[in-house]
Amino acid sequence: MKTLFIGQNIIYLKSVDSTNSYATEMLRQNNIPEGSLIYTFNQTNGRGQRGNQWESQPNKNVALSLVLHPTFICADKQYLLIKIISLAVADLLADILFQVEMAGRIKIKWPNDIYIDDKKIGGILIENIWRDNKLQSSVVGIGININQTHFVSTNKSTSLALLTNRETDLKEVIEQLCSHIEARYLQLKANKLENIDFEYLQRLYRLNTWNLFSANNQTFEGNITGVGDSGKLNVLMKTGETIAFDLKEIVFI
């Protein structure tokens, strides 16, 4: 692993229900070095936002968790971590899809999904551990569809194999991803927030376009204008008002 700390301590699991659950339990019992990587090619009960499950065929995709200790992030700025992890996954995919001219079609769907056009290729779940209202540790769970070509639960998923018509080495993907995450994490530690925010907006799914959404059991047209410092999605309404939606308050249609 050609990194300074991300992925230098590796735990490989032949099979596990959830790498995030495994990593969280380890944190409860031990002091785990920052950058520790827990990965498997057979995750049986992967978790996502809103209680969703992650569909993944054995030995086809990447499922991993990283342990970080981002104590330098203030409580009201914790969404920055989601931003840099999302950008790191997008960086990885851009490298792989550059040759098939799809790098510009990679989008970050708020709050934590990675899309190619209108199909999901990856998801992120970050679970934070707090002590005395201070962020102590974060378990960063990432799932990316790599070599799976058939999805039972949805027709809105895609994979690298479907996009490139070839299989990709899973271990190479993990090594490249760790390098990109380390670069973005160091960018965050260096407080280069303007660069992070600019690049994040460039990748934001449905930015500055009118689309249908649902909130409070009502469907409406809205225009995403950005994401606030606290992580809320800013949506311009037809009335001219901009509303900030929190997690689980708005659904993309």
The confidence band for 155, taking pLDDT boundaries of 50, 70 and 90, is confident
pLDDT of residue 153: 76
Model confidence over 105-118: pLDDT tens digits? 999 999 999 999 99
User: With a threshold of 0.85, does the pTM exceed it?
Assistant: yes
**140 sits in which H/E element:** strand 134-144
Arithmetic mean of pLDDT, 150-155 = 83
**Domains of the chain in sequence order:** 10-203 (3.30.930.10), 210-252 (2.30.30)
Report which of residues 243 and 28 the model is more confident about: 243
> What angle separates helix 170-189 from helix 193-203, to the nearest 10 degrees?
130
Helical packing angle, 79-97 and 193-203, nearest 10°: 60
Task: Determine the pLDDT at residue 159.
Answer: 97
Residue 50: per-residue pLDDT: 46
Q: Is the pLDDT of residue 242 over 50?
A: yes
Contact 212, 219 (CB under 8 A): yes
pLDDT value at residue 108: 98
Answer whether residue 226 shows pLDDT above 50. Answer: yes
CA distances, 209 to each of 44, 205, 221, 223, 250 (Å): 37, 9, 10, 5, 16
* Residue 48: count of CB within 10 angstroms of its CB: 17
d(CA 207, CA 65) in angstroms, rounded, equals: 29
Tell me: the pLDDT tens digits for 11-62?
999 999 999 999 999 999 988 999 999 999 999 987 654 455 667 899 999 9
Q: How confident is the model at residue 99 (pLDDT cuts 50, 70, 90)?
A: confident
* Res 100: pLDDT: 85
Of 34, 11, 51, 36, give the one whose Cα is nearest residue 189. Answer: 34
pLDDT score for 227: 97
Percent of the chain with pLDDT over 70: 97
pLDDT category at 96 given cuts 50, 70, 90 is very high
* Chain segment 199-212, per-residue pLDDT in tens: 999 999 999 999 99
Query: In a 10 Å sphere around its CB, with 0-12 CB exposed, 13-18 middle and 19+ buried, how is residue 224 labelled?
Result: buried
Rounded Cα distance, 49 and 63, in Å: 15
Mean pLDDT of the chain: 94
pLDDT of residue 49: 46
What does the pLDDT read at residue 52?
57
Q: What is d(CA 72, CA 8) in angstroms, rounded to the nearest whole number?
A: 21
